[in-house]
Amino acid sequence: MRENELHPVPGSRKSRRRLGRGNSATGGTYAGKGLKGQKARSGRGISRGFEGGQLKLIKRLPHKRGFKNLFRVEHQPVNLERLSDLPAGSEVTPETLRQSGVVKSVRSPVAILGDGELSGPLTVRAHRFSESARKKIEDAGGTIEKLEAPVIHRPR
C-alpha cells in the first residue's frame, strides 16, 4: 500500500451544502444569509474595523509614534556638585552613593556628570562619565575607574 492509494473511509467525508438552489433543496430562499441588509448583498463585504458608521476604534486611539527600545540602559545621573561635599581623598562608588542617599538603587548604573566643581581629589568609580566630569575630576587630582554595567533582564 502506498500513500497515493490511501482513501478516506466511506461516509467520513461529507460534501458541502450547495446553497441557493431553490426551496426544494435545503438552503433556498435566503440561502443562509438571513434577511435583507448589507451582509445579504453580493459584492465586497464590510471592511475590517467598520463599526456601522461610528468612528473606528483605530481612529479613536491616539497616534503611537516611534518605538520603545527594550535594550535601553537608564543611568542614574550624579552631578559633581553632589560629590563636592565629600572629604578629599575619599572613594566614591555606587554603594557609597546609595548609603549617602545620592542615588536610589545600586542595581541601575551610575553616570557622573560635570555640573559643579570639586574641592579635592576623589577616587570615583562609576559606569559612565561625561567628558567635562572626567576632565574636572582629573584636574582636581582625582582618579576615574569605569565599572561594567550590570545586566538587566527585561521581559519581552
Cβ atoms of 149 and 73 closer than 8 Å: yes
On the question of pLDDT at 10 being above 90, the answer is: yes
Classify residue 140 by burial, with Cβ atoms within 10 Å: 0-12, 13-18, 19+.
middle
Domains defined along the chain, listed by start: 76-146 (3.100.10.10)
The distance in angstroms from the start CA to the end CA of the chain is: 50
pTM: 0.57
On the question of pLDDT at 40 being above 90, the answer is: no
Helices (H), the chain: 57-60, 80-83, 94-99, 131-139
